[in-house]
Each structure stands twice: as structure tokens, then as C-alpha cells.
Structure 1
């Protein structure tokens, strides 16, 4: 049996029309309106720390212990290494012996002073003998205080053998090993402060309008997530480095382990008006995109031409529509 082509077309049109007016499940409606749309340009940025702080030794000596390695997280004030100096221990023993001797001298001077005070009260010894006893007591007391203060200095130096983390963050580099001789001021560890930022380096010809507070977009897939992720430029550095403007942006979920990781970032390169709708409002059949519009209480499907993805914080799955819609159309969006 032969069927004419125009009959097939007519039947197909009727079926499509019937499908267009069929009710759908739970859905919302939105009014299509032209809104400002940013033209975006992809640039590369790196995950950086705001500051890389060195952990330095305060005394010279030999590294006796290392408590951290590259990649470890440290807290502020945590001991990351211990520097030992045998001379300090010997000085401490010498001072302990001197303090013991001076303590004995002070005890004897106290006994002599008490005896002379009793004899002077009975007019048995002269005033000069009592003054000599007082002077000997004061000399012994001051000598003991002096040696005790010296011992406190050595004890403080021994305490300063502990190298403390100057900031909370991640250990980037530990250049020494146990047994290495170090001098005062040597860097035992490099600490990357926590709360990493995204550092952008943009050609100066494309960054004249870049300012703090501007929104940027990254692909969360590069950070192990899903969907777009947005951030805000927090600081634009005034010094241009090798023809590039440097800026810092705050983005949640950057992590706190890898430093200098390169990821792709989209920044604003201009602005125009366009229609942007949710991607879930588009149905594709046989290579043609359709959206459902509501008019006079009925739902009809119209073909549209989609453009590039245009996600934004309030519409993560936004898609630009180049043709097929006009301002004021009521769009049916499936939930």
C-alpha cells in the first residue's frame, strides 16, 4: 500500500500538536526577560597561599629531632624541630656547681653575721667586725643571684632550641635532616598559611577593568566537584609582573594541600543582554531543542536555538537562547 508523503507529514504534525498540549508533571513557570549577560574569557590561575612563612632556628647547634615532614599540617606554636647544643648543657652543669658553692658560702655568711650581731650586742666585738660580716653576706647573696640569673639565661637558650611553627598551615619544605648543623636564623621549615586563595595572572590589556568585588567562575570538576563554582576578587595588586596583572580571589572549597595547582578560570570580558533559561527547561528530540511555553492556559512546544552555557550563582544550569523566544514568554520549567 502506497502512502503519499504529504499525508505522512500531516499525520506527524497532528501527533506533535497533540503531544504539545498534553499536561506535564510538577512544573514551575518563569517569564522570559532579557538580562545582562557577561561575555567570559578563560584564563589560568593557581592555588596559592597568602603567605609562605619560614620557621627559623633561634640558636645554633645540631638538629636533634624533626617532628614534621613535607605535607604535614601544623598549628600555631607547634614544635616542628629541636636544636641541641652540647655546650649549653656543659654550661648548665658548671653553673649548677657554682650555685651550689655560692649557696654554701651564703649559708656560712649568714651564720657569721648572726654570731657577730649577738657578740656586738654584748659589746664583745667591734663595729668593724659586724660590718665585715654584713659585707661578706651581701657579696655572697649577690653572687648567688648573679649565677642563678646566668643559669636562667642558659635554660632559656635550651628552650629556644625548640623550633616553633610561626603560623597554622601546611609544611611545604623541610630542607634539613636530623644531625645537620645549623646556625641561628636558618630556615628549618617553610609553612604555607591556611586559607588558600586563587591567584590570577591576567594580561594587562585584558585586565584594565578588573577590580575587587568582581565575580569569577571556575569549573568544580577541576577540584573534584560538580557544576560551576563562583568566587570573588578580593585584591588586585598594583604592580604588574611581566605584563600581567596579579589578583587574588576567594573561592570556597579550594582545599589546603596542593600549592601552585593550575586551574581554569572564567573572568568577565564584556557585557550584553540575552535570554538565559534553565537547561532543564530544554528538551532535545532528533537533534532539535524545544521549550514548552504557556499561552491562554495551554502548553505548546516551540523550537529554540541554544547558545553557550551561562551559569550564574542564582542559575547554575543557565543556558543562553539565541532565537525562538521573546520577552514576556511564559516558560514552563520541569522540576
Structure 2
């Protein structure tokens, strides 16, 4: 303690305390990523709503393109036709090979049958690949969440026509943090790593501590921007404002324990020890402060250093 104390008195001495400034910080998230449509079409189902928690890969909405169904049927018919042609080509090749063994046909006919079978095999492979592309496009009608997080906005509804690349929902992913905007006169007083106090959203909620994680080097419109990390920020809304107390300097004060102050008719008094005994002195008190882990009351006027105050 900055003073010596006994059971009933102590000697006042200057103490240095941290100067705090109350500002408002806005809750932000590390990333806001859009869940985009991968194909063009009509939104047939929206499975999320604003504020809902989603996991990465969860289906956000479903998009349907009627042309894909037609293309898929056409691709299936082409594959079936090529399969039939390949069956005939295989039969023709087998017949030509049998005739060649008996000498009833020439080698040229067998070679032509082989070439025809190879051409149809390549065409079938290409047709199957084209069908797979169409099937994949149909599966991409499901819009997936790009990350774990909370849905901020859903700008579409069922029945909306949407183009590929347009956002279906915006997801706030990553941890939340507070962004502060301070007057530039505090630029030299704040530093990374400093501890701040975040006020509760209600009187019943206890304040919590955070840490200044980053101070941006550019001053914008006379304001210094800083980010505050909080281990458990709770379920705040994005862009919600909350009160934050930050250290902006240190000052020297005189303070006494709360039990040393007696209030009579709205005036605060302190009892001093003197050579003649005790003396009642009127004082003007300030805010409550913590010095070396003990609660004290700042005295603005009425006391001097080395005064011996009686506690009761």
C-alpha cells in the first residue's frame, strides 16, 4: 500500500492509478462470407433464416433449372443409342472374324469393323462424360454454407430467379471481436496488449475483460481504430454497440478507505489526527478506485499527503 496503516488510522500518500476512458465498441466478425449460387435457375427451397447457426457444407437453399432435366434426358437417350450401336458393332466384328477364319471374307472387313467399334466406344465415353457433367450441374443446385457461423441475411425467397454467382445468404464466420474508434488525442496512450473492460449488456451481467489485439497505424477522420479480443464475447449481434473502458493514461491521486468517510447532510467528512487530538475536515470525494487490490475512494480536495486519517 502507498500508506502505513494501523488498526484505526493510516497515513495518506500519493498513489498512481490508471485513467480509464469509456467508449463504444462495435461487435464485428473476422469474416463475412457469402453462400453463392453455383448454377442459374429458380430458388425452390430456402432452408435457413436470419440468425440461424449453420455448419460448413450445410444446404442453405436449393435451385432448380428445368433445362438441366431436359438435357439429362437427352444425354441419357444418346448414351442408350450408342450402347445399341456398340452392341451391333461388336456383333458385326465377331461375324467378320468368324468369316475370316473360314476364308469367306477379307481382312479389310475385320479392320473396318474394329475401327467402327473403337469410334463408337470413344463416342460412348464422351456421351457418358457429358451426362456426368449435367448430373453434377444438377447436384450443384444445392447452395452450401461456405463456413461455420451465423446467418446474417437471406436476400432471396422461394420462387426467386437467380443467376450463377449471386449470394443466397451471408454467413458470419470466425470469432467475434470489438472494433473501437477513439479520438486521435489518445493515439499515443493506447497500446497493443493493454487490458480493457467490456460492460455487460444489462445491469445484471458482469463486466468482462478483453485485450487490445491491434492498433491500426492510420488515423481516419480524426479517429484511431483498434481491435479488442474477448475470450467469450457471448451471443452479441453483429454491429451491436457495447460500452468499453480503455486505459488512456495514469494519474496521481490521494485516496482513503471507504470507512474513513462520514457523510452528514450530504457533506463528506474525514477525521484527522493532530497534536491537539482529532479534527473533522470536510472533503470532496471522487470515484471509487482500486489500489493494490483494495477498494479506495479518491479525495479531490481537503487532504494533503502525510495526513493521518482515523478510520472507524
What TM-score results when the alignment is normalised by the length of structure 1?
0.74
1:243 equivalent in alignment to 2:222: yes
Unmatched runs of 5 consecutive residues or more in structure 2: 1-6, 271-281
**1:1-335 to 2 correspondences below 5 Å:** 36-220=16-200, 222=202, 225-226=205-206, 228-273=207-252, 282=259, 307-310=286-289, 315=293, 318-322=295-299
SS in 2 for 1:195: strand
Alpha-carbon distance between aligned partners in 2 of 1:311 and 1:174, rounded to the nearest angstrom: 48
Alpha-carbon distance between aligned partners in 1 of 2:220 and 2:99, rounded to the nearest angstrom: 87
- Asked if the contact 1:195/1:256 (under 8 Å) is kept, the reply is no
Q: CA deviation at 1:306?
A: 6.0
Aligned residues: 284
Q: Aligned-pair RMSD on alpha carbons?
A: 3.3
Alpha-carbon distance between aligned partners in 1 of 2:189 and 2:263, rounded to the nearest angstrom: 43
SS in 2 for 1:192: strand
Q: CA deviation at 1:196?
A: 0.9
Alpha-carbon distance between aligned partners in 2 of 1:269 and 1:248, rounded to the nearest angstrom: 15
SS in 2 for 1:245: strand
Q: CA deviation at 1:180?
A: 0.4
- Asked if the contact 1:305/1:324 (under 8 Å) is kept, the reply is no
- Asked if the contact 2:64/2:138 (under 8 Å) is kept, the reply is yes
Alpha-carbon distance between aligned partners in 2 of 1:90 and 1:283, rounded to the nearest angstrom: 89
- Asked if the contact 1:71/1:257 (under 8 Å) is kept, the reply is no
Other-structure match for 1:297? none
Alpha-carbon distance between aligned partners in 2 of 1:63 and 1:45, rounded to the nearest angstrom: 38
Alpha-carbon distance between aligned partners in 1 of 2:166 and 2:40, rounded to the nearest angstrom: 9
SS in 2 for 1:260: coil
Alpha-carbon distance between aligned partners in 1 of 2:87 and 2:245, rounded to the nearest angstrom: 81
